[in-house]
Amino acid sequence: MEIRDLIENKQYEDIMKLDSPLYDPYKCIAAIYLGDYVSAVRYSKRRSFQRAYGYYKFKKYSKALKTLNKIKKRSLKCKILKSQCLYYKGCYKESFEILNSLKDKDLNEEGFVNLAILKALAGVDTDRVSVIKDANFKLQELYNSLFKYVDNDDLFIAELEELDKEFDVSESVVKKQIANLKNENLSDFNFSSKEHSIINYNNHNGSVDCRNLLNFQKEVFIQNTFFNSKTRNFKENNRLMLLNKAFDAVKKFSEEKSFKILEKILDKHSNILLNSDIELLKGILYKNFEKSLEIINLH
């Protein structure tokens, strides 16, 4: 079966079985889809977002940061990933500064949810106006902002109760957290697998320390900004199709040479390539072919 068919049919397990090292970029992304982040790191390039993302997903935040710092071209996704790694390491101010430097259109609603928790935990102030319109995201944003009161149990609970009155959403994180902090019965709530950590906190010595909720907050409610909030698809989705499409355009060259050339071109022209027909794609690649050969010393 052709690699194109494997990609279109989302046969990621079969992609992982391909033998040639030329398929490593495909296998790296397929591994991410499969949740096999160890393999994603193995098949990634040393100085790549994919490697950093793999480290991030199995909580090797220092290694992820080290990889990100080696990447010369800092893309938006690299900045967001660095912010998230710093967040999980407890470097709230540094994480906030990176995220706050991004434009509204790059942050989107999930980003503003993240910004709220970072602002609260870093103890910083900003006049930046949130662009969140969705009621669920707005509730999460306001909930996150209340973590500035986490050192004061009574005030924290009081503010949560005021927020609950304003929104009054059944099964909301606010209702769950209030019940958790008051050591109330949580059996009436439905929890995701991650949210069961609420119950673990609730059952610990019969009481809850608000400061411990920072760990709960990290584990459950920080939004993963590498997923589209509507489709939940990994944003690297098109890279598999892009690589395959580009290979088709340069069949007159050997696969090994083509792959090396493409690696030099993809970052610069990815947006164009993804929306190109095959003839336009050929033109883009051939235009850059001579320069790419010089870069990788293949001429």
Residue 251 inside a domain? The answer is yes
Q: What is the pLDDT of residues 116-126, one digit of tens each?
A: 988 988 899 88
In this prediction, residue 232 carries a pLDDT of: 34
Q: Which two tokens stand for residue 100?
A: 């706050």
Distances in Å between the Cα of 246 and the Cα atoms of 30, 241, 279 are 18, 8, 11
Q: Tell whether the torsion through CA atoms of 245, 251, 256 and 261 is positive or negative.
A: negative
- The Cα diameter of the chain in Å comes to 72
As beta bridge partners, residue 234 has: 227
pTM of the model: 0.67
Residue 255 inside a domain? The answer is yes
Residue 209 inside a domain? The answer is no
User: Measured between alpha carbons, how far is 165 from 175 in angstroms, rounded to an integer?
Assistant: 10
Question: What is the distance of C-alpha 122 from the center of its chain?
Answer: 21
Q: What is the pLDDT of residues 208-243, one digit of tens each?
A: 455 545 544 544 334 343 333 333 333 444 555 666
Residue 291 inside a domain? The answer is yes
Give residue 239's domain range. Answer: 231-297
Residue 140 inside a domain? The answer is no
Q: What is the pLDDT of residues 80-121, one digit of tens each?
A: 899 989 988 889 999 999 999 999 988 888 888 889 988 988
Residue 236 inside a domain? The answer is yes
User: Measured between alpha carbons, how far is 169 from 183 in angstroms, rounded to an integer?
Assistant: 20
Terminal Cα-to-Cα distance of the chain (whole angstroms): 33
Number of domains in the chain: 1
Locus of tokens 């279109």: 8
Question: Among 21-30, 164-173, 261-270, where is mean pLDDT lowest?
Answer: 261-270
